[in-house]
Structure 1
């Protein structure tokens, strides 16, 4: 009955971590603790060594093993003055027990109360992914070796509720929605061209919400800001781009700012669905990394 109530509370309150905390408390008094202590005896080879590993007394371990055998109605181990011999039934029980505890640990990891592990799917523009995310990703992956990142690249908006996307990096004004947002800073949007470039402007091939991107009469258009910057670099025309995309090319002189053009600003955010406190650890960890290391105005 207690387990049933926990399961119902888990789903009705959407408070998974709290439910798992309750399960962890139950492990001190219920069958899960007996399983853990039994495996300690199997692995350590004696009650005294198992007691040391579990921070119990040898007599406490002995009494718990006696209760376990009485409840199961089977002999799990034979005791002599020198050693403990695990019976065939005990070995079968040990294998099953390891599977049960491993499944519980996996469940805890999946809901975010365990280690940072699993795949985080990020929707991002090519510009942000190439110039901001790529350089800071190795640090995160080294720190969390069980973490995997999958990038969904595109400048268009992604339906986070209808696709398996954990978070998205978005530029410009945010629509009113159920999404939560954390700032990634403000990007300077500048106008650049390559020395000797063709006349005319480069522009986006689709309508963007922010009026700062509205251009007219463009001979070359693209659906990706990173591609527009590359087109400008090769002399195809004048382009309005985020400063962080062309920072290096401005230093080397491959691109130059157009004299008299005005600088505008564009906000970047990492957005996600749901409450921050209920996010899996894998997702919240990536968000914090982006907020602290992935700003566009560094």
Structure 2
């Protein structure tokens, strides 16, 4: 128990430091994003420091980045729909376009009051997804803002929550698995109704008497390479965002980062496609062989 408490204390300190760094470098939403659908349900306010998305019986809402990115670290702080959020999905992801698109997903599946959110992650390469891992969180994501990060490198994709690695998707091209490395991607987010599947497989429907539902965003930061008209520009913070940190050394997780990843996957992972024998009775997809740490 003492070891677990010490770990949680260390995690809290890292999260606080991550929040301070995000606050110092956060970008202006007016400059970085366009509200793309949902009418006035999406709002930018606080001088561009805050953004909110809304969902009611008529429509959800969404936004997308003005820039396209090819590798980098993307950080965003979210505070999710509070109360009875069953049936709702808050999606935050990177994606290219077209039938062979690449995509890196965070999706937050709402739940009834008092029941935990499900954090759903997925990776699409060349239009093929079905690489789901799902987690509970070790905190209530509706009470405060928390930082959700995507580290996208030619070697791997790392999903982080408050600087804690929860998932690593390694480049397994040597096994014949495509990896997202050539298609620039925009950042997207949306709040929408998915009560046909989101909560307990669609058994729990959206309670529209609780609408409107609202999710909040702040402290966006991209230490990344942007692509425009065939040319690219890499932010000076791009390199340091991968060489600094208590969870990595060079391009890989260090021993502490691997311990934290195993802690999350042992105590908070609730689904892993790489362990679903019913789904893959003839053997797991080849990238599962390279996902072991």
Normalised TM-score (structure 1): 0.20
Between 1 and 2, higher relative CO (CA 8 Å, sep ≥ 6) is seen in: 2
Structure with the larger helix share? 1
